[in-house]
Structure 1
Amino acid sequence: MLTVIIALGSFVLYLAAYHTYGRFLARRIFRIEPERVAPAHELSDGVDFVPSRRELVFGHHFTSIAGTGPIVGPAVAVVWGWVPALVWVLLGSIFMGAVHDFGSLIISMRHRGRTIADLSSDVISPRVRVLFLLVVLIGLWMVLAIFGLVIAGVFAMFPSSVVPVFFQIPIAVGLGVYLRRGGSLILGSLIALILMYGSIAWSGSIDWATAVNPDGVRILPRAWAEHVSPVGVWTIVLLVYVAIASIIPVQWLLQPRDYINSHQLLVAMGLLALGLIASHPPVVADAINLHPEPASPGARVPSFMPFLFVTIACGAISGFHCLVASGCSSRQLSSERDAQYVGYGAMLTEGMLAILVILACAAGIGMGTLGSNQTLLTGDAAWAHHYATWGGDRGLADVLAPFIRGSANMIETLGISPALATAIMGVFVASFAATTLDSATRLQRYVIAELAASSRPRHQLGTLRQAISNRYGATLLAVVSAGMLAFSDAIARNPRTGEFNGLASAGRGGLILWPVFGAINQLLGGLALLVITVWLAKSRRPTRYTAIPMTFMLAITAWAIVELLRSFSGVGEGALPQWHLAAVAAIMLVLQIWISVEGIRLLFKRGDNAAGPTSLD
């Protein structure tokens, strides 16, 4: 019954936090003003600034910030024990993540829907704006590559998820048309969900192991398989899709698709909760394991400190959320009245999802999983099969397997067939990663265009800068560069053999990118909190509620980046040089120090410019 107590206790804690701490922040710190004209109305253009119902915005916002972040992170981090992961998710989401998201949303709405990076120019200095945009650029670059690999890996490992995920596209387009013509939101949502789960039921009824190649749905000729992995093929297909999706109006595809996925999430979380109650599986994971064994002798294992706090990003605090809040959601909310519901509430909902992931990996997996020789493993043996060692050369889909298997085990106790339960969870993971890809590509387009035109008007730019400052050129640059990063594993050395991986295994070592993504993501969160803290100080409001999380995040990410730089430079036992990632870590460390010094210096500066009344509010 321990798992049930943990789940129910977490839910009650989150509910209490929303109505106490969240309301305190809304009234006393951010001081929401429902009568203010929101940017969605003031700048309505039918493309990016679109006044929308708060339920639609919540769906778009939540599915964009969630993705598979609150799944991958906890699924990896339980290798250090389920107790540290649980504590970090609970405390981090309430006192850091939700505060960060809420603050980013409010200050963006107060400034015509401008992004947090753009606002740093007014709040701190114009120089910081460019530096902040560079951090965002690198962070989104990592997001596009990693989440593309996540979906591709799920498609290859769980082929029953492919058709339902792509079938979401026409369903979302149809729902969008129906709602724009004044259709009922409830009826439209119901029809969309029926169609969605109908496709999952159909796909789950097919024996894909005999219908297609065992390592995924085959697109390319069989002779090409030895040159490009199925994960690589799906990554290319997905990047082409998001390039198209990111340049069409948000209400045509992204908003209705995210709304469908928000309902899909509620259904999946409901099934997980009911399955957890029905099965109440015992916890088979280690409570605390600060020193997990490496997968091979001499291999390097990330240390518990600081990497727990960057491995679990989404679910506790995630800098990517500030981009969604200030770059997308602030341009769709009709009133500040809905800011707590979307900003604070969505983060707590994501935290609850992360709790369920931890329980699925720590307990659900013990109900049964297939071993390497296809024998059924249960209990401690099932846990050890996935978590006895740290496998740094594994793909991200391999990390997701314990969650999908463990969740399916719990759902099966409700009378759902194993194949259908697996299909439901596979589609759930892949479709959520797809929404993050959609939003991240659109955001990256904004950032590239802003950087290209940051110093002069567009008509005064050179040919190249003009090309990448429009939405087509910026999108092309975003997806091509992300593809190069996703395939960079081909030129990396395998930590077990010391040999280059090659294109045939490209994408299968994606786990090595996750700590880098986590560190950059958390750095972005710390920098966003820095901007929010300076904004509060200039507005003569209490700053401790953002300054304490800011200090912690900046310190922990600096520590993590230094450790990554050492590892990727080949320093330390079991470390192989990976110079492209070492360069990324070095650049991020320089940017963090530079921005932090500028912002903190302003915080401690005395005088009217730092603490007096300003026009920022």
Structure 2
Amino acid sequence: MNSLLLAVVCFVGYIVAYNTYGKFLARKIFQVDVNAVCPSTALQDGKDFVPTPREVLFGHHFTSIAGLGPIVGPAIAIIWGWVPAIIWVFFGSIFMGAVHDFGSLVASLRNQGRSVGDMASGLINNRVRTLFLLIIFFELWIVIAVFALIIGILFNMYPAAVIPVWLEVPIAVFLGYMIYKKRVNHHFWGIMAVIVMYITVIIGAYVPLKMPSIMGLNPIVIWVLIMFIYSYIASTLPVTTLLQPRDYINAHQLYVALALLVIGVIVSRPEFVAPTYNPAPEGAPPLWPFLFVVIACGAISGFHSLVSSGTSAKQCESERDSLFIGYGSMLLEAGLSTLVIVAVGAGIGMGIAEKGGEILTGTTAFTTHYASWATAAGLGAKLKAFVVGSANMMESYGIPVQIALTIMGVFLVSFAATTLDSATRIQRYVVGELFTAYKMPAMAKAHPATFVAVATAFILAFNQGFGLKEVTKGALLLWPLFGTVNQLMAALALLVVTVFLARRKVPAVYTFIPMVFMVLMTGWAMIINLDKFSAKGDWLLFSIGLAVFLLEIWMIIESLIVLKQVYGGPLAETEAKKA
């Protein structure tokens, strides 16, 4: 099939979905109130609660939820064929992911900007709040450790990205100063910041910086240590100092990258070389249920609910903006995943160089790169497939390969760093909420809570030692578990939103059906993973997975009891009297 036709159909579909199903949900189900006072105004503190223009907040929100998820997932899952991948991305994002993100944001706006885990206490009970916060802690624990490692690997793979990524920090700080202190026009200065950013990309392409070994430590390990220090500092600064302006720049960087990829698809119009449907690749887990776990962020992701309720709800200045930020950003992320599927399923066929220097094209390029699950599942392999496929399409209209590769390398590292920053900040909130619940207010403050967030991730990343092999074994092996935990949390976030709607006597079927689907698919995947971990003797993975699985079952039981009461028990009479 021609990739251009597929991309056009999908993008038109996303636009139609936003203007029909999205607006229906906003008007009839979540009943967005343009006159409501949002937490960003009611609780404004200049640090976390900050009323923010919707264009700026959209940039922060989108870059926080995107990260590498919508790239890595489709780049692996296409081994089952491009048709299953695109079907899940398209329909999953419209009817599940966007509903999940939008619902989490609105529910938090109506609950003082509290996280989806913290909201569970008022909507369900205090036990569920603690259960959910623990599940969130487990996920973010894995996210922070793994993404710090991924950034180290990316810097090592793409040394040309080092200068642009690190120069983006002072550029973002200056942009934040100009917007919030000097009150300049954020559109103009945002565009200027992006132009400067792309000048640094060109510099980086010709001046790559390779980290040397220091005191016997591998360069990747050094980068991981640097990223932990950076994430601590970045997550304790006011959002207007670095997080917001840098994400605003990254959002524009994404728009440029998407435009470059779209032009590449239009000009090159590559034919798909990936199989249409491949139900049993060598060594791969079953398509059902793992397609719905491997492709997370491009279709639905529990991490998004943490961003919606963890940071974005504290910055949203009007409920009117919630549809654009929550539902719209998820569909744009699905658009990114659509282009990833095109890049790895069609663009790779335009040519990929092997280690021996041989250039493979057409179906051979794909089948060699995706010969088995083992070759396709490696981090380097899936990132290379996306970068090379994208660079091929960009080269078709004159962008030099070296520049194209640097652009995509910077794109990957920037979005991974954004996820790391946001995850650390949200983990600080979660740790603070847990310490507050257990009457330890001193530990709930910004620096003690951030220290706990970073220190626990540090222990996880280096639990096997500081050698390259040990670090890879200690943190990267947790990646399979991350996917399942992440999707289970999406189901639980939908469960909380379902209770939120039920208590308001609003039809909850639009969140209940996606919740049931995700519980079944990801619960099934978790059971398979637990069996595999047990058989291999991976007791760390087994213990974390089992703990999360049991917490999830407990939370679902507690929530279903409340739902039953809301719809027919004594609680229903109480709610009716309140109404």
Q: Same fold (TM over 0.5)?
A: yes
* Corresponding position of 1:131: 131
* Corresponding position of 1:35: 35
Contact persistence 1:394–1:510 (CA under 8 A): no
Does 2:222 match 1:220?
no
* Corresponding position of 2:569: 607
Tell me, in whole angstroms, the C-alpha distance in 1 between the residues paired with 2:167 and 2:508.
47
Does 2:345 match 1:352?
no
Q: After superposing the two structures, state which structure 1 stretch, 68-77 or 147-156, moved more.
A: 147-156
Residue 534 of structure 1, CA deviation? 1.1
Contact persistence 1:393–1:510 (CA under 8 A): no
Alignment of 1:162-561 (within 5 A): 162-180=162-180, 181-206=182-207, 208=208, 217-221=210-214, 224=216, 228-294=217-283, 301-391=284-374, 395-456=378-439, 458=441, 466=442, 468-488=443-463, 490=464, 503-504=468-469, 506-507=471-472, 512-561=477-526
Residue 470 of structure 1, CA deviation? 2.3
* Corresponding position of 1:48: 48
Contact persistence 2:427–2:450 (CA under 8 A): yes
Q: After superposing the two structures, state which structure 1 stretch, 140-149 or 305-314, moved more.
A: 140-149
Tell me, in whole angstroms, the C-alpha distance in 2 between the residues paired with 1:173 and 1:56.
14
Letter matched to residue 587 of structure 1 = A
The gaps in structure 1 that reach 5 residues or longer are 295-300, 459-465, 492-500, 571-575
Q: Secondary structure at the match of 1:95?
A: helix
Tell me, in whole angstroms, the C-alpha distance in 2 between the residues paired with 1:611 and 1:58.
40
Letter matched to residue 283 of structure 1 = F
Letter matched to residue 284 of structure 1 = V
Tell me, in whole angstroms, the C-alpha distance in 2 between the residues paired with 1:556 and 1:47.
39
Alignment of 1:83-162 (within 5 A): 83-162=83-162
Contact persistence 2:352–2:361 (CA under 8 A): yes
Tell me, in whole angstroms, the C-alpha distance in 1 between the residues paired with 2:205 and 2:474.
28
Tell me, in whole angstroms, the C-alpha distance in 1 between the residues paired with 2:556 and 2:563.
10
Residue 202 of structure 1, CA deviation? 1.1
1:357–1:150 CA distance, 2 compared to 1 (3 A):
same
Tell me, in whole angstroms, the C-alpha distance in 1 between the residues paired with 2:127 and 2:576.
20
What are the Cα deviations for residues 476-502 of structure 1, in whole angstroms up to 9, with x where unaligned?
A: 2212222332335x47xxxxxxxxx95
Letter matched to residue 19 of structure 1 = N
Contact persistence 2:462–2:470 (CA under 8 A): no
Residue 205 of structure 1, CA deviation? 2.5
Tell me, in whole angstroms, the C-alpha distance in 1 between the residues paired with 2:461 and 2:393.
33
Residue 152 of structure 1, CA deviation? 1.5
Residue 145 of structure 1, CA deviation? 1.7
Residue 403 of structure 1, CA deviation? 0.3
Tell me, in whole angstroms, the C-alpha distance in 1 between the residues paired with 2:13 and 2:399.
30
1:562 pairs with one of 527, 534, 543? 527
> What percent of counterpart residues are identical?
48
What are the Cα deviations for residues 506-541 of structure 1, in whole angstroms up to 9, with x where unaligned?
A: 327966433311111111110011011111111111
Residue 384 of structure 1, CA deviation? 2.2
* Corresponding position of 2:58: 58
Aligned length: 576
Letter matched to residue 578 of structure 1 = D
1:351–1:475 CA distance, 2 compared to 1 (3 A):
same
Q: Secondary structure at the match of 2:437?
A: coil
**Comparing both structures, which one devotes a greater share of its residues to helix?**
2
Q: TM-score, normalised by structure 2?
A: 0.96
* Corresponding position of 1:461: none
Q: Secondary structure at the match of 1:48?
A: coil
Residue 166 of structure 1, CA deviation? 0.8
The gaps in structure 2 that reach 5 residues or longer are none
Contact persistence 2:461–2:474 (CA under 8 A): no
What are the Cα deviations for residues 547-602 of structure 1, in whole angstroms up to 9, with x where unaligned?
A: 000001111111111111111111xxxxx221111111110110111001111122
Q: TM-score, normalised by structure 1?
A: 0.90
Contact persistence 1:396–1:509 (CA under 8 A): no
1:198–1:611 CA distance, 2 compared to 1 (3 A):
farther
RMSD: 1.9
Q: Secondary structure at the match of 2:236?
A: coil
Residue 396 of structure 1, CA deviation? 2.2
* Corresponding position of 1:583: 543
